[in-house]
Amino acid sequence: MGHPHTRGAVRATLTGLASLSLVTGAVVASIPQAAAAPQPAAHSARPNPYSPAYQHPYRHGVLPTIQRNAKMKSWAANHPAAATATGPETLSYGGGVDGIGVQSGHSKVYLVFYGSQWGTQSTNASGDATFSGDPDGAAPVAQEMFKDIGTGNERWSADLTQWCDGPNVSAGATSCPSNANFIPYQSGGVLSGVWYDNSAASPSAATGHQLGAEAVKAAGHFGNTTAASNRDAYYVILSPHNTNPDNYQGQYCAWHDYNGDSTLSGGPVSSSYGDIAFSNQPYNMDSGSGCGVGFVNSPGTLDGWTMTLGHEWQEMMSDQNPAGGWTNQTGSSYNGQENSDECAWIAPGSTGGAANVTMGTGTFAEQASWSNDTNNCAISHAIVGGGSSGGGTLTNGTFETGSLSGWTTSGTASATTSAAHSGSYGATVGSTGPTNTSSVSQSFTAPSGTSKVSFWYNVTCPDTVSYDWATATLQDTTAGTTTTLLGKTCTQGAGWKQVSGTVTAGHNYTLTLTNKDDNYAGDATYTYYDDVTLS
């Protein structure tokens, strides 16, 4: 934990929960203290020898097993640090690494099923990849969870909207100025792609370098071959059943990092695609209760699975290139920890405890994360700097619900897999058969900290622009103006193009994405739209 680039890893063994009690919002061992026992001398940022990150500094945000977590808390209670003015759990800004602190755009999560041990791939009725080598059915649940983040008015992820980066944020800051680049509320889901890399077997115990190399390989696979395309990307490297990536068994449950970390086991990973954020996600059901099986529900086989996936994603969002984002620098027993580390393995029903979080189409066990603005572990939080409450962000802008929920439709339109620019779904407006004018539209309020609305389109127009076209408009209902973002366009085979327009925070808008076909047989025009975001 004493390294300047401490990573976020989920580590906790759940045995002996009856002996755990809550102390200052964290799970600690209940150890009787003799009233007259002398207190040890204070230490500043002394590393905790029970942490899985001890002498393994690349394990950022590492989530210890529950048993290991109890040992860490017991040791910390007997080795207090000097008191600080801001409080022992307060996070502060690290100044950025390579100019990156947080993911201040719409997160693009890519799930990488690493190694042929996952078995034969199939697709279920929800469009999720499934695998014969996945005895607990973990793969589709991971996909559904990331599809669901930012849907159904869930507020588990909203605590991220208090964190920020950018040139207006000073290193050491414990709150964000109004002109910072805030993390926006992640409306409409964050899953952007799934890849089964079965080109070889996953190593029995992959090193940090091997996991990072797989993430760089995945960036190439998904076509994210520039630093800009990876600025808001995150690659979850999911190792298969009966493997032991980075020797996690008995120590921890997951961690996150980026390719350039010089302390990675095996060394840093070179990338010509810019910095690559990734995580080590073991098949941690193999660790049983140590990694959260049954922590929230009964039998709760996948409780720890979704909790650790959520833990690492939240830490990556708030500390993308560790430790350039928001980490604990107070010199307390929390030193080096990230927002989710500070709330690891708090029992359900307790203040800040883990709980089931209901999203748009599913319910998932998640843990709380630390919030500076409320000074506690939050399982639910209002949308703050990165968005506004009350529907201020686009709903289902990535169409990953597999439907057009949140959109008003006219004519012929549907969510289809063929229309996906990223992830599994996009919007098909129009049809391969003759139609008339069709559109999808949505009204929204531009959140604080946003200045741009963007979308991708791919038009198939075998006619001429005199008869058929794609077009898009943005109506500012506050100012009473309308802007044409995409003029009448009729092309074929041009591929995906991105369009952006300016928005003013606090104004109300209606975005309309249109396909015009003249209903003439033989040259039907249709348009794919996807990845509609505010930033």
The verdict on whether omega for the bond into residue 12 sits within 30 degrees of 0, i.e. cis, is: no
How many C-alpha atoms does 438 have within 13 Å on its Cβ side? 24
271 with 417, same domain: the answer is no
As given in the structure block, the two tokens for residue 318 are 């708030």
Question: Which SS3 state, helix, strand or coil, does residue 200 take?
Answer: coil
Residue 51 falls inside a structural domain: no
What Cα–Cα distance (Å) separates residue 38 from each residue in 24, 41, 42, 130? 21, 9, 12, 57
Q: Which pLDDT tens digit goes with each residue over 501-514?
A: 999 988 888 999 99
Q: H or E stretch including 215?
A: helix 208-221
Q: Identify the residue with better confidence: 381 or 1.
A: 381
Question: Is the separation of the CB atoms in 218 and 197 below 8 Å?
Answer: yes
pLDDT at 354 over 90: yes
pLDDT of residue 35: 31
Going by C-beta distance under 8 Å and a sequence separation of 6 or more, which residues neighbour residue 72?
A: 48, 50, 51, 64
Q: Is residue 265 part of a domain?
A: yes
Q: Average pLDDT for residues 461-475, to the nearest whole number?
A: 95
In this model, does residue 4 exceed pLDDT 80? no
pLDDT of residue 337: 95
Per-residue confidence band for 37, with pLDDT thresholds at 50, 70 and 90: very low
Same domain as 217, residue 168 = yes
110 and 161 share one domain: yes
For CA atoms 108, 109, 111, 112, give the dihedral sign: positive
SS (H, E, C) 178-189: CCCEECCCCCCC
Q: How confident is the model at residue 5 (pLDDT cuts 50, 70, 90)?
A: very low
- Confidence band for 390, pLDDT divided at 50, 70 and 90: low
Looking at residue 19, its pLDDT comes to 31
Scan for tokens 């791939």, then name that residue: 121
Name which of 191-195, 363-367, 397-401, 458-462 the model is least confident about. 397-401
DSSP conformation class of 159: G
Closest CA to 1 of 71, 49, 66, 69: 49
Judge residue 208's burial from the number of C-beta atoms within 10 Å of its C-beta, 0-12 exposed, 13-18 middle, 19 or more buried: buried
pLDDT score for 369: 97
191 with 302, same domain? yes
Domain assignment present for residue 326? The answer is yes
Stretch 431-443: mean pLDDT: 92
Q: How far apart are CA 256 and CA 279, in angstroms?
A: 4
pLDDT over 70 at 116, yes or no: yes
Confidence tier at 124 by pLDDT (50, 70, 90): very high
Task: Give the pLDDT of residue 445.
Answer: 81
* Domain-terminating residue out of 335, 363, 378: 378
What domain range is 197 assigned to? Answer: 91-378
In a shared domain, residues 360 and 433: no
H or E element that contains 305: helix 303-318
Weakest mean pLDDT among 13-22, 97-106, 499-508: 13-22
Place of tokens 């690290």: 94
Let me know if residue 20 belongs to a domain.
no
- Same structural domain, 422 and 350: no
Segments in 1-150 forming alpha helices (H): 66-77, 138-148
E-strand spans in 6-152?
A: 9-10, 20-23, 26-29, 91-93, 108-114, 121-123, 129-131
Could you tell me whether strands 376-378 and 408-410 are parallel, antiparallel, or unpaired per DSSP bridges? unpaired
The verdict on residue 80 lying in a domain is no
Here the CATH number for the domain that contains residue 469 is 2.60.120.260
- Is the pLDDT at 44 greater than 80, yes or no? no
Structure tokens, 448: 């604080």
Same-domain status, 332 and 456: no
Residue 54 falls inside a structural domain = no
- Expressed in angstroms, the distance from the first to the final Cα of the chain is 33
pLDDT of residue 211: 98
Question: What pLDDT does 86 receive?
Answer: 62
Spatial separation of the C-alpha atoms in residues 452 and 534, rounded to whole Å: 6
Residue % of the chain over a pLDDT of 70: 88
Query: Does position 16 have pLDDT exceeding 50, yes or no?
Result: no
Q: Six-digit token pair at 384?
A: 């703050």
Question: Quick check: 208 and 259 in contact, CB under 8 A?
Answer: no
Q: What is the pLDDT of residues 230-280, one digit of tens each?
A: 999 999 999 999 999 999 999 999 999 999 999 999 999 999 999 999 999
Domain end residue (candidates: 361, 378, 395)? 378
203 and 321 share a domain? yes
Q: Note whether 447 and 507 are same-domain residues.
A: yes
pLDDT in tens, 50-98: 999 999 988 988 889 998 998 998 888 888 765 444 679 999 999 999 9
Flag whether pLDDT at 392 surpasses 70: no
Number of neighbouring beta carbons within 10 Å of residue 463? 18
**d(C-alpha 466, C-alpha 525), whole Å:** 12
Same domain, 246 and 331: yes
Structure tokens at 442: 């949505």
Query: Which tens digit of pLDDT belongs to each residue from 127-168?
Result: 999 999 999 999 999 999 999 999 888 999 999 999 999 999
Same domain, 205 and 255: yes
Q: Measured between alpha carbons, how far is 64 from 68 in angstroms, rounded to an integer?
A: 6
pLDDT at 14 over 50: no
Determine if the peptide bond prior to 88 is cis (ω within 30°): no
Residue 187 pLDDT class (50, 70, 90 cuts): confident
Instruction: Name the pLDDT band for 18 (thresholds 50, 70, 90).
Output: very low
The pLDDT value recorded for residue 525 is 96
Output phi, psi for 126, to 5 deg. -90, 0
pLDDT of residue 178: 79
Burial 380-407 (b: 16+ CB within 10 A, else e): ebbbbbbbbbeebbbbbbbbbbbebebb
In a domain, 30, yes or no: no
Average pLDDT along the chain: 87
Q: How confident is the model at residue 388 (pLDDT cuts 50, 70, 90)?
A: very low
210/129 same-domain check: yes
Closest CA to 249 of 67, 100, 459: 67
Q: How many separate domains does the chain show?
A: 2
Q: What are the angstrom distances between the C-alpha of 276 and each of 40, 91, 109, 224?
A: 42, 23, 12, 10
30: pLDDT strictly greater than 90: no
Task: Specify if 373 maps to a domain.
Answer: yes
C-alpha–C-alpha distance, residues 150 and 394, integer Å = 10
pLDDT in tens, 214-229: 999 999 999 999 999 9
Query: What percent of the chain is modeled with pLDDT above 90?
Result: 68
